[in-house]
C-alpha cells in the first residue's frame, strides 16, 4: 500500500463516500475505506479520528475562509454583504472533487442518522465561525447569529445547486451568493 503517497486524505474521503453510497455508512469499516484508498489503517487514523469525521474533512478550512471573507469585507458592508464576502472566499476552496462527491455525499447523509448528526454539528461550527467574525466587526450578537445562520443555509443550498448544475465551468461563488440573495428576499417576506 502507498503509505506516504500524496493525496491520501482526498483519496480517503472519496473512498469513504463511495463506500457509504454503495453499502451504507454502518456497513462500511475503516479497514475497507483504507483499502479502497490504497493506504494503511494507521494512515487513515493519522488523517481522521474515525469514519464519521470524513464527512467534515474540509470544515476547518471552510470556517477559516468564511471568517476571513467576512473580516475582509468593506467596513460599511451590511451583515449579509459581509457574509456574501465569506461565501465568495469559501468558494475558492471548492473544486471538481467537491462537485463530483456532492450528490453521493448528500445520499449518504440522508441514509444515516449518525451522519445527519455530524452534518448538523458541521453547520453549527460554520455558523459559529461566521458569528465570531461578524461580532468582531461590531455587530450585536443576535444580528450576527441570524446573518450567520442565513449564511449556512445559503452555503448548503448554493453548494448543492452548484453540484447539480449542468454548467461544468460554473463558479461556485455565483451559486452561494445567489442562494443568499434568495434567502434575503424570503426573509423580507416574513413580516
Query: What pLDDT is stored for residue 6 in this prediction?
Result: 64
Asked if the model's pLDDT at residue 84 lies above 60, the reply is: yes
Query: What pLDDT is stored for residue 186 in this prediction?
Result: 94
Long-range contacts of 98-105 (CB under 8 A, 24+ apart): 98/58, 98/159, 98/163, 98/172, 99/162, 99/163, 99/172, 101/13, 101/14, 101/17, 102/159, 102/160, 102/162, 102/163, 102/164, 103/163, 103/164, 104/17, 104/18, 104/20, 104/21, 105/17, 105/20, 105/55
Residue 158: closest CA among 171, 142, 177: 177
107 and 182 in a single domain? The answer is yes
Query: What pLDDT is stored for residue 58 in this prediction?
Result: 79
Does 2 map to a domain?
no
Task: Tell me the angle at which helices 79-91 and 141-164 cross, rounded to the nearest 10 degrees.
Answer: 40
Rounded distance between C-alpha atoms, residue 134 and residue 67, angstroms: 8
14 and 93 in a single domain? The answer is no
Q: What confidence category does residue 115 fall into, taking pLDDT thresholds of 50, 70 and 90? A: confident
88 and 119 in a single domain? The answer is yes
- Domain span at 94: 56-189
- Choice between 10 and 78, residue whose per-residue pLDDT is larger: 78
What's the pLDDT tens digit per position in 125-152?
A: 999 999 999 999 999 999 999 999 999 9
Using CA atoms, how far residue 97 sits from 8, 38, 102, 124, 136, in Å, is: 14, 18, 9, 24, 33
Query: What pLDDT is stored for residue 1 in this prediction?
Result: 43
What's the pLDDT tens digit per position in 22-38?
A: 998 999 999 999 999 99
38 and 103 in a single domain? The answer is no
120 and 49 in a single domain? The answer is no
138 and 164 in a single domain? The answer is yes
Query: What pLDDT is stored for residue 27 in this prediction?
Result: 94
Does 18 map to a domain?
yes
Asked if the model's pLDDT at residue 161 lies above 90, the reply is: yes
Q: What confidence category does residue 16 fall into, taking pLDDT thresholds of 50, 70 and 90? A: very high
Q: How many domains does the chain have?
A: 2
DSSP letters for 61-79? HHHHHHHHHHHTS-TT--H
Query: What pLDDT is stored for residue 5 in this prediction?
Result: 56
Amino acid at each position: 500500500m502507498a503509505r506516504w503517497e500524496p493525496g491520501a486524505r482526498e483519496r480517503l474521503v472519496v473512498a469513504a463516500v463511495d463506500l457509504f453510497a454503495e453499502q451504507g455508512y454502518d456497513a462500511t469499516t475503516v479497514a475497507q475505506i483504507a483499502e479502497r484508498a490504497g493506504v494503511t489503517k494507521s494512515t487513515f487514523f493519522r488523517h481522521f479520528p474515525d469514519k464519521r469525521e470524513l464527512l467534515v474533512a474540509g470544515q476547518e478550512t471552510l470556517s477559516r475562509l468564511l471568517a476571513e471573507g467576512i473580516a475582509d469585507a468593506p467596513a460599511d458592508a451590511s451583515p449579509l454583504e459581509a457574509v456574501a464576502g465569506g461565501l465568495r472566499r469559501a468558494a475558492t476552496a471548492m473544486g471538481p472533487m467537491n462537485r463530483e462527491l456532492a450528490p453521493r455525499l448528500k445520499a449518504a447523509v440522508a441514509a444515516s442518522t449518525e451522519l445527519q448528526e455530524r452534518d448538523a454539528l458541521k453547520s453549527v461550527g460554520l455558523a459559529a465561525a461566521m458569528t465570531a467574525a461578524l461580532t468582531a466587526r461590531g455587530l450585536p450578537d443576535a444580528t450576527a447569529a441570524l446573518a450567520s445562520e442565513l449564511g449556512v443555509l445559503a452555503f448548503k443550498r448554493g453548494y448543492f445547486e452548484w453540484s447539480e448544475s449542468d454548467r461544468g465551468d460554473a463558479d461556485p461563488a455565483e451559486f452561494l451568493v445567489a442562494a443568499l440573495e434568495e434567502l434575503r428576499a424570503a426573509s423580507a417576506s416574513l413580516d
